[in-house]
Structure 1
């Protein structure tokens, strides 16, 4: 895998290319590198302020990254406003997350931001995940896990049990004001949250084991609901218990 020196050289070449590109009027690091909390394994998150056509700039930079770094693959994570977020895999397992933002959308939406050049504009912060939606996903996943067990679909049941645990972790992080995306705050959760989760792990795809794991996951979910929204927990917990 990559070394920190390899990754840093990649960042320096990206910055030099941006400074030489008349259409790029801003360059910022985001993620852990911007806050000084990165480590040997941190990836590279960059936002480019684009003056002009976003698609043209993204296409031109994509071709250059393949030529310059011998990129192996890329895909679009999605869009935020008119911005394009493109994720590249470079040799040595260097991950490059490159956002092409219209000039007016160039600016911090959270604390992880470091401007190297250009003028950032004030942006609304990223909204937290909606608690009601997370709770909805939780009971949805629990229900479908049980249905899959009744149908004898063990792999699909395992999928829904694991997905239910993901919702539970995100709910706990949201309640405790920890990072919610991609379980980034999971390692900061207290033991009273994480210890019960150990029993939710699936050890085999036998029906008794899947039912045991589902029961453990529903039990942990009900406990988190009681912390997050006691009134809603009083309505949902009896129904969730029916699935165990």
Structure 2
């Protein structure tokens, strides 16, 4: 197996254990690695993002035993399923002694073709996993500008009500949502970069990141008002580069509502 140059030795040792153990299960037909492994951009803080391809007729059985399978790999100290990210097939685990985070995504072999980024084959029965990957091109989910526009002004109204009511921590959480779901993905898309929320935005778009800093606030009325107005300014600038139907009436109404109800 040819490893990425940036793979830390600690990660390599754990990965060898995982591959050696899983390939003994005849129901598993391939193991792939995506994320920073596939792009050769790992560091000591990186996760291992693994795809475990299973014979279709054995998938349900493997799913029911996936914690037992993961437990069989030496060093596992904790694990849980990925419903919180909308992926129940995912098991997120932590391994000692180096505290390495591993994502195990169990999929039926045909479903391995549906992936958001490139995935390198670590091991496979014959060429089963490689052949499956060839059937589809990876597609990272893109932000949908019209979907965002249809919601953004109601979101602005929502933020205004939280500030006006004094629910400052709720408003803080919503600022984070706008950065992750709206502002950063649109900026990255327009820069022809993978729109992966705010991950590494500081290095990927340093100038935009400086503007994004102004959307960070303390839980006070004055700071929240400044931060939300910056969100609106950034969104309007980003929207100029998108071919969408703009809801000018909602925009005017909700911006005025924010002004009226959060006046200091």
TM-score normalised per structure 2? 0.78
* 2:214 paired residue number: 199
Does residue 164 (structure 1) correspond to residue 178 (structure 2)? The answer is yes
Runs in 1 of length 4+ with deviation above 6 angstroms? none
The offset of 1:181, in angstroms, is 2.3
Does residue 215 (structure 1) correspond to residue 229 (structure 2)? The answer is yes
Deviations 1:107-136 (A, max 9, x none): 373552111233231135334232222334
* 1:113 paired residue number: 119
Paired residues of 1:173 and 1:185 also in contact (CA < 8 A): no
Does residue 149 (structure 1) correspond to residue 155 (structure 2)? The answer is no
* 1:35 paired residue number: 39
* 2:136 paired residue number: 123
Deviations 1:60-119 (A, max 9, x none): 33223235323313122434xxx8222223334311111111122233735521112332
* 1:78 paired residue number: 86
Paired residues of 1:23 and 1:50 also in contact (CA < 8 A): yes
Residues 181 and 134 of structure 1: CA distance in aligned 2, closer, same or farther (over 3 Å): farther
Deviations 1:150-189 (A, max 9, x none): 2121111222223223221111112222111232362322
- The gaps in structure 2 that reach 5 residues or longer are 1-6, 260-264
Does residue 69 (structure 1) correspond to residue 75 (structure 2)? The answer is yes
RMSD: 2.6
TM-score normalised per structure 1? 0.84
